Amino acid sequence: MDNDNLIEMRGITKTFPGIVALDDVSIDLKKGEILSLVGENGAGKTTLMKILSGDYSHGSYGGEIIMEGVPLRISSPGYAEKAGIAMIYQQIHVELDLSVAENIFLGILPQRMGFVNWKKNRLAAREVLDRLKVNTDPDDIMRNLNTSMQQLVCIARALVRNPKVLILDEPSSALTEGETRNLLDILNKLRESGISCIYISHKLKEVFETSDRVVVMRDARYVRTYYKGNIDSKMVVEDMIGHRIDSMYPPMEGREISQEVLRIENFKVQHPGSAAKNIIEDVSFTLHKGEVLGLAGLVGSGRSELLRAIFGAMPHRSGKIFIEGKEHYIPNTRTAIRKGIGFLTEDRKKDGFVDAMNIEENMTLSILKDIARAFFIDKMVEDKKVRHYFDMLKIKAPSVKTQIINLSGGNQQKVVLAKSLLTNMKILFLDEPTVGIDVGAKAEIYKIIKKLAESGLSIVMVSSEYPELLAMCDRFVIIANGYVAGELSKSDASETAILHMASGL
Ligand SMILES: Nc1ncnc2c1ncn2[C@@H]1O[C@H](COP(=O)(O)OP(=O)(O)O)[C@@H](O)[C@H]1O
Ligand SMILES: [Mg+2]
C-alpha cells in the first residue's frame, strides 16, 4: 500500500435499476493533493463521490473504501463527516433565512454551559470567512448573498468541521471566471495546509491549471490518470468521449436560407430589476427560414430578456412581432408555442422538462398539450417517432420509459430538443443551449441544431461561448445599451469584432 494515500476506493460497483453507474472503479487520493475527476455527464463521477460522502451507504454498492489504511464502512453522511470527509454538492444546500454564521455552525454551534455562545460563534465565523477571503458579515442573512458567496459559505461550513478531504461537485458552473479563480486559490491554500481535495468540473482549462492529478472516467469506468505537467488536454477529451473528435462543430455551410419568417420591430423591454429602467430600449431584427441568427452582447445586455419578451414569458413595453409577414400578438408562452415558436433555455429544469415524467412523455409533451386536444394522434406513429429520435440523438438511458430526472444534463437537453423535432415548430429560441454540458454531448447538440436548421427551422441563439456562437450562426445581431449596435455576416464576424460592438464602442 502506498503510504501517501489518504483514501483508496477499491473496485467500486454501483447499479441503479437498469443502469450500471459504476463498474469496478478504483481511485486513490493522496494527502494534500488536488485530484480532479473529469468525464462526460453520466460517467459516474457524482455517484462515486456520493458513495464516499455516505449518501449511498455501505452495503448499497460493491467494493471497499480504505482511509489511512483502515477499511471504512461509511453508513451515513454524518459518519463521513466524522471521518473527515466533506462534500459540497452541485446544488447548494443552505438555510436561506438563517445568518451566515448560523449556516456555518448549523448542527455544531459552539456552546458554553448549554447556551449558544453567539459572540464566540460570530468570531469563529469571521475567522473562517477571513481565511476564505469572503467579504461578508457573519450576521448577513444567507438569502441576500449571491450564489458564489453562498458556495463559499458552504465551504466555510465544511472547513469548521476540520475535514481531511473536501469534495466539490461541479462548483464552478454557477460562478463567473473571477469567482472560479478565487475558489481555486482557496483550494490551493487548503492543499498547503494539508487538506486534500477532489474537484469535479467541466471547466477543463481550470482543472488542468490547478490539479496535481486528473482522473478520467467514462461510461461508469475508470479510464486513466494524468499527472501535473503531463496533462494533454486533447488526450483527456478523447479519453472522456471515447473516440476521436474530428471536429466539435459540424459544417454549417451550403444550407438554404430563404424568405423572412420572423420580424421584430422596435421592441422595448422593462429592466427585470428596476421598473424605471428599460433593459431593451429599441431593438428590431429579422430571421429567415433555415437561418441560425446569433444574438450577441455582453452579459446583462438583455439578450435573454428580449427573447423571453418575444416568447411571451415576460411583458414588453412596446414593439411588434411579424410571423411570415403577418403581425401577431403574443401575450403568453402558450400562444407563442401555438404560433410555432419554441424556447430552449439554459435552465432546463425550470423551463424545459417535467421532472415527474419519463423520456417519452417529455418528448411528446408539447404535442399532447397543444395538438392532441384538437386532433387525433396515431399512437403507433408517435411511438415510432419517439424511438427514432431516441436512437438518433443517442440518448443514454435504458429505454424511453426512463424517468427524465435520472438522466444527465446533456441527455436531458437532448430530450428537450427532441421535443422541438417532434412538433411543427417554425422558430426556435436557444438560450445558452450547452451550458453545463460536457464536450461530447455538446458536439451532438451542435449536430442536432444543424439538422434542425437544414430541415427549415429558423433559430435565434444566445450564447456566451464565442467559439460556439461563431461556428453555429449565419449572421449576428449585436446588442449594446438596449439598442442594436450592429450586424455582422458570418464572414465579417470574429470574437474581436463582436466584442468591439458589444461593449458599445
Ligand atoms: N438515483 C439514480 N437513479 C437512477 N440512475 C441514476 C441515479 N443517479 C445517477 N444515475 C445514473 O447513473 C449514471 C451516472 O450518473 P452520475 O454519477 O450522476 O454521473 P456524472 O456525475 O458523471 O454526470 C448515469 O447514467 C445516471 O443517469
Ligand atoms: Mg454529476
What domains, with CATH codes, occur in the chain? Answer: 5-241 (3.40.50.300), 260-502 (3.40.50.300)
For the cut 70, the answer to whether the pLDDT of residue 392 exceeds it is: yes
For the cut 50, the answer to whether the pLDDT of residue 372 exceeds it is: no
Q: Which atom of ligand 1 is nearest to the CA of 17?
A: 4
Average pLDDT over residues 41-54: 93
The helix (run of H) or strand (run of E) holding residue 487 is strand 483-489
Where does the pLDDT of residue 202 fall: very low under 50, low under 70, confident under 90, or very high at 90 and above?
Answer: confident
Tell me if 196 sits within 8 A of 6, measured CB to CB. yes
DSSP state of 351: I
Residue 377: the pLDDT is 47
Residue 352: the pLDDT is 64
Residue 393: the pLDDT is 78
For the cut 90, the answer to whether the pLDDT of residue 484 exceeds it is: yes
For residue 43, the ligand closest to its alpha carbon is 1
For the cut 90, the answer to whether the pLDDT of residue 177 exceeds it is: no
> How far, in Å, CA of 281 to CA of 267, rounded?
7
Residue 376: the pLDDT is 45
User: Parallel, antiparallel, or unpaired: how do β-strands 62-67 and 70-72 relate?
Assistant: antiparallel
Among the residue ranges 73-87, 364-378, 413-427, the one predicted with the least confidence is 364-378
Question: 184 CA distance to ligand 2 centroid (A)?
Answer: 19
Residue 63: the pLDDT is 97
For the cut 80, the answer to whether the pLDDT of residue 3 exceeds it is: no
Q: Mean pLDDT of all residues in the chain?
A: 86
Where does the pLDDT of residue 353 fall: very low under 50, low under 70, confident under 90, or very high at 90 and above?
Answer: low
> How far, in Å, CA of 307 to CA of 312, rounded?
9
Where does the pLDDT of residue 399 fall: very low under 50, low under 70, confident under 90, or very high at 90 and above?
Answer: confident
> How far, in Å, CA of 318 to CA of 397, rounded?
45
For residue 71, give the 3-state DSSP assignment.
strand
What are the backbone dihedrals phi and psi of residue 321, each rounded to the nearest 5 degrees, phi first?
Answer: -120, 120
The residues near 447 (Cβ < 8 Å, ≥ 6 apart) are 250
Question: Which of 15, 16, 222, 355 to mutate for ligand 1's pocket (most ligand atoms within 8 Å of CB)?
Answer: 16
Tell me if 284 sits within 8 A of 267, measured CB to CB. yes
DSSP state of 107: T
> How far, in Å, CA of 116 to CA of 133, rounded?
26
Residue 380: the pLDDT is 63
Q: Which atom of ligand 1 is nearest to the CA of 46?
A: 21
Average pLDDT over residues 235-258: 80
Of 110-119, 200-209, 244-253, 483-492, the range with the highest mean pLDDT is 483-492
The residues near 455 (Cβ < 8 Å, ≥ 6 apart) are none
* Residue of higher predicted confidence among 346 and 90: 90
Tell me if 241 sits within 8 A of 43, measured CB to CB. no
Question: 169 CA distance to ligand 1 centroid (A)?
Answer: 13
Average pLDDT over residues 189-193: 90
> How far, in Å, CA of 272 to CA of 247, rounded?
39
In sequence order, what E strands does 211-335 have?
213-218, 221-227, 260-271, 274-288, 292-296, 318-323, 326-328
- Dihedral-angle region of residue 260 (phi above 0 means left; psi in -120 to 50 means alpha; beta otherwise): beta
pLDDT-above-90 percentage for the chain: 44
Average pLDDT over residues 364-386: 57
User: Parallel, antiparallel, or unpaired: how do β-strands 221-227 and 213-218 relate?
Assistant: antiparallel
Average pLDDT over residues 39-61: 93
Protein residue with least CA distance to atom 2, ligand 1: 406
- The string of pLDDT tens digits covering residues 102-129 is 899 887 766 555 666 778 878 888 988 8
For residue 397, the ligand closest to its alpha carbon is 1
Residue 64 buriedness (CB in 10 A; 0-12 / 13-18 / 19+): middle
> How far, in Å, CA of 204 to CA of 200, rounded?
10
Show the cell assigned to 444. Answer: 451532438
**DSSP result, 262-274:** EEEEEEEEEETTE
The helix (run of H) or strand (run of E) holding residue 495 is helix 495-502
Residue 22: the pLDDT is 97
Q: Point out which residues pair with 64 in neighbouring strands.
A: 10
Tell me if 287 sits within 8 A of 427, measured CB to CB. yes
The residues near 454 (Cβ < 8 Å, ≥ 6 apart) are 255, 290
Tell me if 169 sits within 8 A of 49, measured CB to CB. yes
Where does the pLDDT of residue 34 fall: very low under 50, low under 70, confident under 90, or very high at 90 and above?
Answer: very high
* Residue of higher predicted confidence among 411 and 371: 411
Among the residue ranges 31-40, 411-420, 441-450, the one predicted with the least confidence is 411-420
- The string of pLDDT tens digits covering residues 283-324 is 999 999 999 999 999 878 899 999 999 999 899 999 999 999
The reply to whether ligand 1 has any atom less than 6 angstroms from the CB of 21 is: yes
Residue 318: the pLDDT is 96
* Residue of higher predicted confidence among 253 and 475: 475
The reply to whether ligand 1 has any atom less than 6 angstroms from the CB of 43 is: yes
Where does the pLDDT of residue 245 fall: very low under 50, low under 70, confident under 90, or very high at 90 and above?
Answer: low
Protein residue with least CA distance to atom 16, ligand 1: 44
Of 7-11, 42-46, 85-89, 145-149, the range with the highest mean pLDDT is 7-11
The reply to whether ligand 1 has any atom less than 6 angstroms from the CB of 202 is: no
For the cut 50, the answer to whether the pLDDT of residue 373 exceeds it is: no
CB neighbours of residue 1 within 10 Å: 8
Tell whether pTM > 0.95: no
* Residue of higher predicted confidence among 352 and 445: 445
Of 165-174, 348-357, 413-422, the range with the highest mean pLDDT is 165-174
Question: 405 CA distance to ligand 1 centroid (A)?
Answer: 10
* Residue of higher predicted confidence among 254 and 383: 254
Question: Which of 402, 406, 415 to mutate for ligand 1's pocket (most ligand atoms within 8 Å of CB)?
Answer: 406
Residue 347: the pLDDT is 62
For the cut 80, the answer to whether the pLDDT of residue 243 exceeds it is: no
> How far, in Å, CA of 385 to CA of 395, rounded?
14
